[in-house]
Every structure is written in structure tokens, then in C-alpha cells.
Amino acid sequence: MKPYYATITVIGRDKTGVVAKVTSFLFEQHANIEALEEQVTRGQFSMTIQASWKPEQTAMDTVRAGLQKLAKTLDMEIKVRFTEANRRQRCAIFVTKETHCLDSLMKAFSAGKLNKAQPVVVIGNRGDLKPLADKYKLPFYCIPWEERGPAESHALSILDKHEVDFVILARFMKILSPNFVWRFKNKIINIHPSLLPSFPGPQAYRQAYEHGVKIVGVTAHFVSMHLDEGPIIAQDSFSVRSNATLKEIVASGQKIEAKTLVKAVKLYLSKRLDVFWGVVKEV
């Protein structure tokens, strides 16, 4: 029988004894803690634990109930996501209005190129891509993003409802807060239209055009607490003609954005990636 895995996130105001209390409870539940990462930022405590159980020792309801009780005791948010070994991972795709990345991802899923995962929901801060989500029979949620806090809370509730394991940002043009990112640490994949660390921010192609660069590229990376600075998964580039227009550069870039994002998701699903001191390494 195959083992069960779980990701546990703990978030709240910093206080002493949190790590000890959570890990002690997991030990009592026969969990094998495979990875633990925690940090404190301006008094905010965040911890992510990767744990596993032998099938005969897994009591998911008991673990969930115990963690809920512990959350009340600590006055913190504690969430757990269970995954069976070799189960297809469930992903959410976040979009705004550009179609190329979502369309390429869905074609790759349909062709079996990403068969270790299944898309289960599309979330957009605009409604432009609902017809494309409908085409692939995926539920679509439009969440206006005028106020980031309520929008992220709504999005997180949808991810919980659909039991999402990881998130793909398919040209999603909103910045996610540390509060959101920590809940899916190294499980949010973004595509950025430049060869990071050059040209971060929303106008990367324009910056490249105005600087007259001869090589323009794209970067797929894990989302971190800092804008466009997450660990890099994959990159690609193309040469720019001396008389190329901004419109031509954007068109060329969008072609490799889609391809590189699909490549990054495939690498992620291969489980050959590890993040070590902020750098992605294949293992």
C-alpha cells in the first residue's frame, strides 16, 4: 500500500512553542516529518510542514480534528492538505485577459503531456477568459481584485473547495501577498516576460524595447514573497532584429511564454525539482 502525504500550513501572530506543539502532535499521530520551513516577518509567524504516513497509520479525520483543536488553542490558522502517493495533482489556473498561456496549458493537458496533474478550476480577476474555460469544461470564477485582502480570501476559499494542490499563474496580472503565497510555498508557478532578474514588473517587454536589448526572454519561476524574484524553473529567449517594433517583440515573446510555462509545469510534476537557498535544482 502507498503512503499518504500532507502539507500543513501554520500562520498567525508569532509566539513561543508553536513549532514544538505542532510537531509533537504530528509525532503522536505517527507522522514522518519530511520537511519543515518557518519564518517570522514583522511579527507574523508562518510555517510549512511536509509529512507522510504509512497507510495503516493514517487517520485523516483524527489529524484534521486535532489540528483544528490546536489552531484554536494557539489562536492561529492551521490547514492540512492530504494527497495520496501518485495521485494526479489538482491545479488551479489564474488568468486575466491574455489567452495564449491558458490555451497552451489546456492543449498540453488534453494531449496528455501533463498527465500527472489535472486542472480543476480557473480563477480570473476579469471575465474575459470564461468562454475559454467553458470550452474545456472547467469552472470559472471571476473575482474583482480592487481590494486584495477580500479577493485573496475568496480565492483561497475556492482553492480549498476544489482541493487544489498547486497554482499556475497564466499571465495573471495581479500581485499576490505573502499571506497568500505562504499557503502554497513553492507551489505557485508564474511566467514573467523577461530574463529575470532583468526587467521585473508589468512592463518588461517595453523596458526591453526601450533599452534596445538584442536578446529578449521569458522566465518561469516559483512565486516568492518578493515581486518577480522567486526561484527560477525554466527560461527561454529569442534574438531581436534591430528594427523590430514593440508589437513584434510582444508577439514573439508570447509564443515562448506559453511554451516555457508548459515546460516549467512539466518539470514541477516530474518531482525532479528542489529549492535550495532560493535556487531551483533538479534532483
Q: Which residues contact 91 (CB under 8 A, 6 or more apart)?
A: 117, 118, 119, 120, 164, 165, 166, 167, 168, 265
Q: Which of 114, 135, 132, 116 is nearest to 124 (CA)?
A: 132
Which amino acid appears at position 23 of this protein?
T
Taking residue 85's Cβ as centre, other Cβ atoms within 10 Å add up to 11
Instruction: Confirm whether 228 is a catalytic residue.
Output: yes
Adjacent-strand bridge partners of 39:
46
Q: Which residues contact 224 (CB under 8 A, 6 or more apart)?
A: 181, 230, 231, 278
Spatial separation of the C-alpha atoms in residues 112 and 110, rounded to whole Å: 5
- Which candidate in 134, 160, 228, 236 is catalytic? 228
Spatial separation of the C-alpha atoms in residues 94 and 110, rounded to whole Å: 18
Taking residue 235's Cβ as centre, other Cβ atoms within 10 Å add up to 18
Q: Cα-Cα-Cα-Cα dihedral of 61, 53, 39, 21, to 10°?
A: 60
Catalytic residues: 228
